[in-house]
Amino acid sequence: MNVRDLIEKEYRDHQDAMKKLHSELDWVQTTGEMIAEALLANHKLLIAGNGGSAADSQHVAAEIVGRFSTERRSLPAIALTTDTSALTAIANDYGYHAVFSRQLEGLGSPGDVFIAISTSGNSENLVVALETARKKGMKRIALLGKSGGKMANMADHAFIVPSSITQRIQEVHEWILHTWCAIIDHAVETS
């Protein structure tokens, strides 16, 4: 395969993953409006993932606290992946499985929204975090891939990208996250 064929294949794979999302636009709207409603009611958005999904968590938190595409007031969003002192202390004292759940214990409140992002759906630290969020009365959303794994039935709202290709799953997740940011901007503008 030459480079041009590789590029064409990557593009087709991306388009195929996005086409599968089209039938779930109602889910994207419902969850986006739920997040916006929580933020407008002075609740927090807490987000976590591992690896590339950690970067996505940080990215969307920055869009919410800063701004996305319109000028609006800052809203409370925290990526649980950014505090290296907390992450390393919790991992050292409790184990890596607790790095997100322990933060949710201290930072989460009833009515807050927790978004867990995992391409496999089996990240143990996110499984434990979803359970902690449930116990705290938080709304739980999971962005997943492959078969959805253990996390598929642990969230109030789960979306499974029907692909086994990590980068395609992440691309769909990023589109959903950006679309939620646009919904939040719209909600603030019209409130």
Query: How confident is the model over 103-158, as pLDDT tens digits?
Result: 999 999 999 999 999 999 999 999 999 999 999 999 999 999 999 999 999 999 99
Report all structural domains of the chain as residue ranges with CATH numbers, in order of start: 3-190 (3.40.50.10490)
Which residues of the chain have a pLDDT value below 70?
none
Q: Which residues contact 126 (CB under 8 A, 6 or more apart)?
A: 48, 49, 50, 100, 116, 117, 118, 142, 151
* pLDDT at position 162: 87
DSSP 8-state assignment for residue 122: -
CA dist 108 and 184 (Å) reads 20
pTM reported for the whole predicted model: 0.96
CB neighbour list of residue 72: distance below 8 Å, 6 or more residues apart: 185, 188, 189
pLDDT value at position 157? 97
Cα 30 from Cα 13, distance rounded (Å): 27
User: In terms of residues, how long is the chain?
Assistant: 191
